[in-house]
Amino acid sequence: MSRKKVSIIGAGNVGAKATYYIAEKVIADLVMVDIAEGVTRAKALDFLHAGPLRRYDGPIRGTTDYAEIAGSDVVVITAGLARRPGMDRMDLLKANAEIVKTASLNTARYAPNATVIVVSNPLDVMCHVALRASGFAIRRVVGMAGILDSTRFRYFVAEELGCALSAVHAMVLGGHGDQMVPLPRFTTVGGIPITELMAPATVARLVDRTRNGGAEIVGYLKTGSAYYAPAAAAAEMVEAILTDRKHFAPCAAYLRGEYGIEDLFIGVPVILGRNGIEKIVELELTEEEKQGLRASAEAVRKGVDDLNTFFRAT
């Protein structure tokens, strides 16, 4: 068995933290690519210095050169700008689309057999960019969203009930935005649905907090956004693919008719393994849940339309 290789594009907070989590969890060669050469190399070195104490091995490299991702099994695209004052949604979409496009073209060039995990925002739209630019099979491009949204939901439930995090499982479908669709009847504590353990108003409050989980952190940080939980979610996906874990979890996947949705990336339950998305699992949803998913899909579709307009213009 040869050693696995994982490349992380973008060595900002999310990318660097994801690199660190992956180093602690799995044995793989790690490469961080970023346009900021000094910072990237410094972070990689710092991680290596901690290795003897944290018990992981290198190599971990920081570079500006995409050629170094050659032969990667997984490429995680975290690069992108955070929204800055005065920048509108469309400006951000354009800027990040360019960044993700560059990362995806280079992935196709140097690591044509990789599975791509997209982390950059707006997530579902950036998945489209990565799929198009890479030309990869659809099961090899997967977006990180549902695992993050559900880990937040899981934490809120555990906190509310004063029970261990490990007892809680959750399912959050839809786009990675405030129209995401947390599913309380599929959110459980030791197998018991939370709808049996909490009043409806409490469930609604936790669902709402989940929808705004990212914004809540931005509200506290003022100048930055969350990175521990997003990086942990990305690392979980990397591990599932490298270890062929057959992890059943919600991820952004390209749908071709599943859930009545055509040609769109959106969060649905999938099985993640060696081959990327190995299966999309179609659940029977209630009418209300279906409506939520459709509304969320429309919001994503609008972003994709904006993207198309922009790409046609350039």
Partner 1 sequence: MKRVTIVGGGNVGTNTAFFLAENGTASVTLVDIKEGMPIGKSLDLMEAGPLRGYDTTIRGSNDIESLAGSDVVVIAAGRVRKPGERRLDLYKDNAATVREIGEAIKRLAPDAVVVNLVEPIDTLTLLIQELLGADRRRVLGVGGLLSSTRIRYLVSAELGISPREVTALIIGPHRRSMVVLQDSIRVSGIPAAMLIGQERLAEIVDQARHAGDTILELAQSSTAYYAPSAAACSLIEAVVRDTHAILPVSVRLDGEYGVRGLCAGVPARIGAGGVEQILEIRLTDAEQSAWQTAIAELKTAIAEKTGRRIA
Residue 314 CB, nearest approach to partner 1 (Å)? 40
Helices (H), 162-255: 194-197, 200-211, 213-221, 228-242
Residue 32 CB, nearest approach to partner 1 (Å)? 26
The three-point CA angle 97-103-107 to 5° equals: 140
- Nearer to partner 1 by C-beta: 170 or 255? 170
Residue 193 CB, nearest approach to partner 1 (Å)? 8
Edge-to-edge strands, sheet with 276-280 = 60-63, 28-33, 4-9, 74-77, 115-118, 141-143, 247-256, 262-273, 276-280
Query: Residue holding tokens 């910072």?
Result: 39
Q: Of these residues, 49, 169, 176, 247, which one is catalytic?
A: 176
State the Cα–Cα distance between residues 153 and 151, nearest whole angstrom. 5
Residue 205 CB, nearest approach to partner 1 (Å)? 19
Q: What is the sign, positive or negative, of the torsion defined by CA atoms of 184, 188, 194, 196?
A: positive
Report the b/e string of 99-131 with b at 16+ CB within 10 A. Answer: bbbbbbebbbebbeebbbbbbbbbbbbbbbbbb
- Nearer to partner 1 by C-beta: 108 or 271? 271
Helices (H), 222-281: 228-242
State the Cα–Cα distance between residues 100 and 297, nearest whole angstrom. 21
- Nearer to partner 1 by C-beta: 9 or 171? 171
Residue 2 CB, nearest approach to partner 1 (Å)? 23
Give 61's strand partners. 31
Q: Is 128 a catalytic residue?
A: no
- Nearer to partner 1 by C-beta: 120 or 150? 150
- Nearer to partner 1 by C-beta: 75 or 189? 189
**Residues in contact with partner 1 by the rule CB under 8 A:** 55, 150, 162-164, 166-167, 169-171, 183, 186-193, 196-197, 240, 245-250, 269, 271, 281, 283-284
Catalytic residues: 176
